[in-house]
A = this chain, B = another copy of it.
Amino acid sequence: MSTARARVGRPRSEAARAAILHAVDDLLVEQGYAAMTLKGIAERAGVSRQTIYRWWSTKAEILFEASWTDAEEELNIETSATPLAEITAYLEALIRFLAHSPAGAAYRALVGEAQQDAEIAKLLASRDVLGESAQRVIKRALGDEISITLEEASAILVGPIFFPVLVGRELTGLDEARWAKRFLTQMQRDQPPAG
Q: Which residues of A contact B (CB under 8 A)?
A: 32-34, 105, 108-109, 111-117, 121-122, 124-125, 128, 130-131, 151-152, 155-156, 158-164, 166-169, 175, 178, 182, 185-186, 189-190, 193
Contacts and interface: CB of A to CB of B under 8 A. Distances in A.
Given A125-B168, A159-B160, A166-B166, A117 B151 contact: no
A163 B155 contact: yes
A173 to B, nearest CB: 10
Given A34-B117, A124-B168, A162-B162, 9 more contacts: A108-B115, A109-B116, A114-B168, A125-B169, A151-B164, A155-B161, A155-B163, A156-B160, A159-B163
A109 B115 CA distance: 6
A159 B115 CA distance: 17
A62 to B, nearest CB: 16
A27 to B, nearest CB: 13
Contacts of A32: 116
A120 to B, nearest CB: 9
17 contacts: A33-B116, A111-B167, A112-B112, A114-B166, A128-B167, A131-B169, A151-B164, A155-B161, A155-B163, A158-B159, A158-B163, A159-B161, A160-B160, A162-B162, A162-B163, A166-B166, A185-B189
A127 to B, nearest CB: 11
A33 B114 CA distance: 11
Contacts of A186: 182, 186
Contacts of A34: 116-117
